[in-house]
Chain A
């Protein structure tokens, strides 16, 4: 693919990632912009990139970028937090306490050292999902699932900050590391829905409809 390169002594390929997911979490919704030197059929680009990437890193769709930058179209993320061995009712209590707080101070190590910040204000939705139906005969292992929508703010509030917040307000300590997956990114509407940032460039045609 005719990737464009930056100028300078060591030219870098023109790729920019919009709010990349932190290390150690899964994602179903990463977005990036690639600069090209010449027009390429988006589908051709998608197939070529997908072939070169690792199994599990799948390029779902490519569109020609329209007006404005990708970053301008992303101001929130939806996450799924799976907490194995945590009873949903216990999680529910912690989430309620979190939402009832005006501010939840958490600490995180940053490059500048340990800093405290509010994890509450950026959270626009936090709810314990209904328990999934188990196939008949399966032994139920408790696993609380939290549905989370976080607005992009500075400093960034990440899912593990919200988990820290749940520990701060309700002493929730998952016995095994929670599994976190980003489900969507985009513009947060007044109704609390997330609009796919590529929508504008698709002329309103959704992925499923193509």
Chain B
């Protein structure tokens, strides 16, 4: 049965919506296949607007990995803006893919990548538009398997009612294994229907199917246990880890957007995983161990990615890029190869040391010097010990001064507010630090014309981190501290004038906290918020704190819990956490010990350079640290360079 394009109906609506180009597809790198020539078909969604979703690295990688299979078709779909959503509902146009404008409902799998929990309401919009029942329990063989991935899927309990399955961890091999299971099941004539397919997925022990697990609660609202409700599924579901990144050099053919997007560059992950051990950082905890891509593979990917796409910016991405064992040679080699071209290289710089400046210097050889970014995260020495961000104030000042004296005029500093055990004084120290940065910077640069921006966001405790037990601060506390900080920065007018202050309100963070550490009961809140019109919760112009609070008040008390219970309450050691049956490899006892160490301001080393500290990931996942150096270097490129000659 072939599936036709909804474009003729959609086209009628496009003149009436904002930025219609985001819905037309046809990007360089997009793949359109014949529906009938394929057997397993995936619709991949990044549940945010096209401008945010298109550059997403995860979706691009899976899109390419799947489409490389001859009998597999993968297309992309994004959240449509409310103006088009209303028109689609009115005119019966279903959620569509941008590649061939096929209805999402016709696919075998509807895979959603959740980088943040704030995309949950957008998933409900998409399901509704697609004509797929919101509840997993109401779906039949005519509906796709709704599959969640991305970092948020390490606790998918708040969306357990809406998804059929979740994959934890790296997706490259997971999507191929799932494809294989579906291919086989379809070839056999779909025996046992949807339940049998979900069972086959669950038996891999690395795909979580919420319907096969029951949650029991204690009278006080805490979880008593989460256990399988049938004998043939595992008690715990393990995350995936893709080893040997050189064997998975994706994206090879990056998508080049036609509409404006948040990133327009060729992005290469130079390594995955991070063992710096920042206690707030979920990404650093759930992506262990560190696996480097070698200098030569990175060089090859950059060369081919640029040739294919024509991008003139390359981002060398990872959780702490300066830590790559070959980063020096990589930066100088790439800088050499692309000298005198219009290609600019960027390294998200979060490490606070002079080495970072050396690298930035290499990368800006062709004269383009944008800002430098450092992330001390905490204002006081004490709070930095709590979060395990090992950098002293002296280090920071020295680093920033080096930057200013080497010609940089703009430095950005990232911080968090609302960290466990934080006091007003911890936050106020940010102002002192910023003042000192400007004072020392002016002296070093010999000019008053330097700037520094303080950017501060609210801390959200995340599952599978040492702070998973931590209480959150109320939004009023956060907002009060931010106000105090702003005043303190401006208390010296001369210095304050050179300091920009950017911050996020406390309210969205509290809701993100609810969704991050919520359990299945929170699903009812998400549904209620969506019914009341909530969508695009990651956008301040669409997010409504009042709507979330109202929905919590309507739904949660009946179950003996409330918004505070999920957010500002500190958990105890023996409490069953909603994600305990989902195995990130981290030993819960180790996490608890790290939480205790944090409260006694005791720091933890990085196992990349020091002996193993027994976080548990490598032995339980049968993985190991994969790092260089390989000893290889990047050779000069021989082909004709795209010379930048002023005309």
Question: What is the interface of chain A, defined by CB distance below 8 A to chain B?
Answer: 2-7, 9-11, 14, 23-24, 35, 37, 52-57, 176-177
Other 17 A-B pairs with CB < 8 A, given A35-B647, A37-B645: A2-B643, A4-B645, A5-B644, A6-B646, A6-B647, A9-B368, A11-B342, A11-B644, A23-B21, A24-B15, A37-B643, A37-B647, A52-B28, A52-B256, A54-B25, A54-B258, A57-B26
User: Given the complex, which residues of A lie within 8 Å of B449, measured CB to CB?
Assistant: none
State the CA gap A5–B343 with chains docked (Å). 12
Decide if B638 is an interface residue (CB 8 Å cutoff).
no
State the CA gap A3–B26 with chains docked (Å). 23
* Given the contacts A52-B310, A54-B26, A54-B258, A5 and B342 also touching, CB distance less than 8 Å: yes
User: Given the complex, which residues of A lie within 8 Å of B643, measured CB to CB?
Assistant: 2, 37
State the CA gap A177–B640 with chains docked (Å). 49
**Distance (Å) between the CB of A183 and the closest chain B CB?**
19
**Distance (Å) between the CB of A201 and the closest chain B CB?**
19
What is the total of A-B residue contacts with beta carbons within 8 Å? 45
Residue of B nearest to A84 (CB): B12
Contact between A7 and B642, CB atoms less than 8 A apart: no
8 interchain residue pairs of minimum CB distance = A54-B26, A4-B647, A24-B15, A7-B646, A177-B15, A37-B645, A5-B342, A52-B28
User: Given the complex, which residues of B lie within 8 Å of A10, measured CB to CB?
Assistant: 368
Decide if B27 is an interface residue (CB 8 Å cutoff).
yes
Q: In terms of DSSP, what is the predominant structure of the interface of chain B?
A: loop
State the CA gap A54–B256 with chains docked (Å). 10
User: Given the complex, which residues of A lie within 8 Å of B310, measured CB to CB?
Assistant: 52
Decide if B221 is an interface residue (CB 8 Å cutoff).
no
Contact between B342 and A176, CB atoms less than 8 A apart: no
Contact between B646 and A24, CB atoms less than 8 A apart: no
* Given the contacts A9-B368, A11-B342, A52-B28, A24 and B14 also touching, CB distance less than 8 Å: yes
- Chain B interface size, as a band, is 20 to 34
State the CA gap A94–B646 with chains docked (Å). 53
User: Given the complex, which residues of A lie within 8 Å of B256, measured CB to CB?
Assistant: 52
**Distance (Å) between the CB of A130 and the closest chain B CB?**
26
Contact between B12 and A177, CB atoms less than 8 A apart: yes
Contact between A5 and B26, CB atoms less than 8 A apart: no
Contact between A56 and B26, CB atoms less than 8 A apart: yes
**Distance (Å) between the CB of A5 and the closest chain B CB?**
5
State the CA gap A6–B646 with chains docked (Å). 6
Decide if B497 is an interface residue (CB 8 Å cutoff).
no
Residue of B nearest to A53 (CB): B28
**Distance (Å) between the CB of A127 and the closest chain B CB?**
24
Residue of B nearest to A14 (CB): B647
Q: Can you give 10 contacting A-B residue pairs, CB < 8 Å? A: A9-B368, A10-B368, A23-B20, A24-B15, A37-B643, A52-B28, A53-B28, A54-B258, A176-B12, A177-B15
User: Given the complex, which residues of B lie within 8 Å of A4, measured CB to CB?
Assistant: 645, 647
Contact digits for B1-41, partner A, Cβ 8 Å, 1 yes 0 no: 00000000000101110001100111110000000000000
State the CA gap A174–B109 with chains docked (Å). 41
State the CA gap A4–B644 with chains docked (Å). 7
Contact between A177 and B368, CB atoms less than 8 A apart: no
Contact digits for B252-264, partner A, Cβ 8 Å, 1 yes 0 no: 0000101000000
**Distance (Å) between the CB of A17 and the closest chain B CB?**
15
Contact between A54 and B647, CB atoms less than 8 A apart: no
Residues of B590-647 contacting chain A, CB below 8 A: 640, 642-647
